[in-house]
Amino acid sequence: MGKTINPLPYNTDKPSFDVYFRNYERLFGSLAGKKIHLLELGISQGGSLELWRDYFQHGTIAGIDISPVHLDDPTGRIHVYQGLQQDTALLDRVRRETAPEGFDIIIDDCSHIGEFTAVSFWHLFDRHLKPGGLYVIEDWGTGYMRGTPDGKAYVPPGPVTSFRSRLRPFVEKVVARPSVVRRPSLKRVVHAVMNRLVRMRFRSHMYGLVGFVKQLVDEAGMDDITHPAWGTPPARASKFSYIQVSHGQVFIAKAGESSGRAVTAARSAPRKPVRVPGPARRPMHAKFRRKKRA
Ligand SMILES: C[S@@+](CC[C@H](N)C(=O)[O-])C[C@H]1O[C@@H](n2cnc3c(N)ncnc32)[C@H](O)[C@@H]1O
């Protein structure tokens, strides 16, 4: 745990979320004394920029807001721009003028609209965040709020009432019977039947920022999505080294040079097929493997 953050002296709306600062302390602590470059989208009165300036004592701090923001910054380390978060030409300019080598940290506390957040995320993440850098999306729970332009109240998925789901408890009872457990061939058949009856899809809320965050999970799964044996090539590693989702904050760490190499090495190593009990099932990846041309 590094330096603590006390947001109270600053004119920022973040103090209402103490948990945010505990996460920031944990993830930013090792950078506090370094010459980092930070960009915040959505800065309101600019208080959060002053907070970051004082936390990162050698940092360069940039901020963008649709409204004009005037700050009195004697250090000259804060740079404020007026414009839209989805204006990619502006994002390029801010990087050019304040962080020629790229940003170490980018925080999006801006429109909280999924579409705009997605535009700035992919533009900044791909082009202007350093390898190993951290991108934070704040207040992603707005996607559950009726009052936000693209939010919607959460509706819990209803009970599963399909024929499959009603049949499964009976099969599950059979699976555990000693007469089945003792006989490998029968056991394989019963397991195969049970596996055929499992639910394949889990319905889920996907509005606004919540929907966008769930798309980010797909990027985290890119190694499997594009795997030559069971995915859709061309193979590529995920751009993320990890994604951490917690109340109100998503942290996305950009894969560094070294983690990229590790992923490539892991992919070239032979991987064991996933074995599913049951006589009718071949190993999962074999089922989807493309036939080699003669
Ligand atoms: C939640 S406030 C930011 C609070 C600030 N980060 C803090 O900690 O005090 C959101 C800000 O985003 C700005 N904003 C909303 N939509 C925007 C957009 N599309 N582009 C740029 N700024 C936007 C608003 O003007 C507002 O100041």
Over residues 100-129, the pLDDT tens digits come to 999 999 999 999 999 999 999 999 999 999
Q: Locate the ligand 1 atom nearest the alpha carbon of residue 40 and give its number.
A: 6
Length of the chain: 294
Q: Locate the ligand 1 atom nearest the alpha carbon of residue 45 and give its number.
A: 9
Q: Is 148 in the pocket of ligand 1 (CB under 6 A)?
A: no
CA nearest to 283, candidates 272, 267, 268, 269: 272
Query: Has residue 277 got a pLDDT over 90?
Result: no
> Domain locations in the chain?
80-109+116-133, 156-202
14 band by pLDDT with thresholds 50, 70 and 90: confident
- Give 214 Cα–ligand 1 centroid separation in angstroms: 23
The mean per-residue pLDDT over the stretch 232-254 comes to 97
**What's the number of CA atoms in the CB half-sphere (13 Å) around residue 162?**
9
pLDDT given at position 162: 85
User: Helix (H, G, I), strand (E, B), or coil: what is residue 116?
Assistant: helix
Q: Locate the ligand 1 atom nearest the alpha carbon of residue 11 and give its number.
A: 9
- Between the CA of residue 122 and those of 162, 209, 216, 219, what are the distances in Å? 39, 14, 10, 11
281 φ, ψ to 5°? Answer: -95, 125
Q: Is 43 in the pocket of ligand 1 (CB under 6 A)?
A: yes
Which residue CA neighbors atom 5 of ligand 1 most closely?
Answer: 43
pLDDT given at position 258: 54
Distance between CA atoms of residues 254 and 19, nearest Å: 23
pLDDT > 90: percent of the chain: 77
Mean pLDDT of the chain: 88
The residues, any chain, with a CB within 8 Å of residue 89's CB and separated by 6 or more, are none
For the entire predicted model, the pTM comes to 0.87
Query: Has residue 285 got a pLDDT over 80?
Result: no
pLDDT tens digits along 166-196 = 899 999 999 989 999 999 999 999 999 999 9
